[in-house]
C-alpha cells in the first residue's frame, strides 16, 4: 500500500495571543488560531475576501518560540500536519471533534509592529538527522560592496 501525505502550509495572521501551558511531563504546548484569506468574485462580480480560521498547536521548543515572539496580529508561515481528535463531552455526553494543524516548521514574517523585526526567523522542531533547530534570519547590511568600488551613485534608481 502506498504511503500517504499529510502536509499543510499556511500563511496568515494570528487571531489572538497564544495560550501556552505545560504537560505533566514538562513539555511546553502552545495553542492559537491563524486566519487565512481567499479572494474570490461574488455573484455581482465584485471581489470579496473569505477568511478561514485554523487551530494550530506547537510543542517543545517551537511552543517556547511561539510564547516569546507570537502575538495577536503576527504574520506567520507554518508547515505541519492535519490531525483530528475526539473526546466525550462530559456535560452533553456527545462526542466532540476538533481538527488542528500540528506545527513542524514556523517562520515569523512580521506582526502588528516592527519592533520584533530583528527577531524574525524560521523555526522548527529538531529533526532526527540534525538534532538542532533551524533558524534563518537576514543580517541587514552584511555586504555593502564598498570593497568592490560600488557606491550609491552606481544604482540606477
CB atoms within 10 A of CB 20: 17
Take residue 8 and report the three cell numbers written for it. 499543510
Considering the domain 8-36+49-138 in this protein, what is its CATH number? 2.40.50.140
How would you write the pLDDT of the chain (157 residues) with one tens digit per residue? 678 999 999 999 999 999 999 999 999 999 999 999 988 888 888 888 889 999 999 999 999 999 999 999 999 999 999 999 999 989 998 999 999 999 999 999 865 554 444 444 555 544 433 333 333 333 444 455 555 565 666 555 4
Ranges of each domain in the chain: 8-36+49-138
Assign 74 to helix, strand or coil. Answer: coil
* C-alpha count within 13 angstroms, C-beta hemisphere, residue 14: 28
> Does residue 28 contact residue 60 with C-beta atoms inside 8 Å?
yes
What is the rounded distance in angstroms from the CA atom of residue 91 to the CA atom of residue 82?
A: 27
Take residue 17 and report the three cell numbers written for it. 495571543
Amino acid at each position: 500500500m502506498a504511503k500517504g501525505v499529510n502536509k499543510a502550509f499556511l500563511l496568515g495572521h494570528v487571531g489572538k495571543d497564544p495560550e501556552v501551558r505545560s504537560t505533566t511531563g514538562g513539555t511546553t504546548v502552545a495553542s492559537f488560531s491563524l486566519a487565512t484569506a481567499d479572494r474570490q468574485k461574488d455573484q455581482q462580480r465584485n471581489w470579496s475576501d473569505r477568511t478561514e480560521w485554523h487551530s494550530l498547536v506547537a510543542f517543545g521548543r517551537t511552543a517556547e518560540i511561539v510564547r516569546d515572539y507570537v502575538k495577536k496580529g503576527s504574520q506567520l508561515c507554518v508547515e505541519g500536519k492535519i490531525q483530528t481528535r475526539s473526546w466525550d463531552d462530559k456535560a452533553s455526553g456527545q462526542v466532540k471533534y476538533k481538527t488542528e494543524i500540528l506545527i513542524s516548521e514556523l517562520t515569523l514574517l512580521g506582526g502588528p509592529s516592527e519592533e520584533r523585526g530583528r527577531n524574525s526567523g524560521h523555526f522548527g522542531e529538531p529533526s532526527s538527522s540534525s538534532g538542532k533547530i533551524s533558524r534563518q534570519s537576514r543580517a541587514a547590511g552584511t555586504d555593502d560592496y564598498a570593497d568592490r568600488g560600488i557606491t550609491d551613485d552606481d544604482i540606477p534608481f
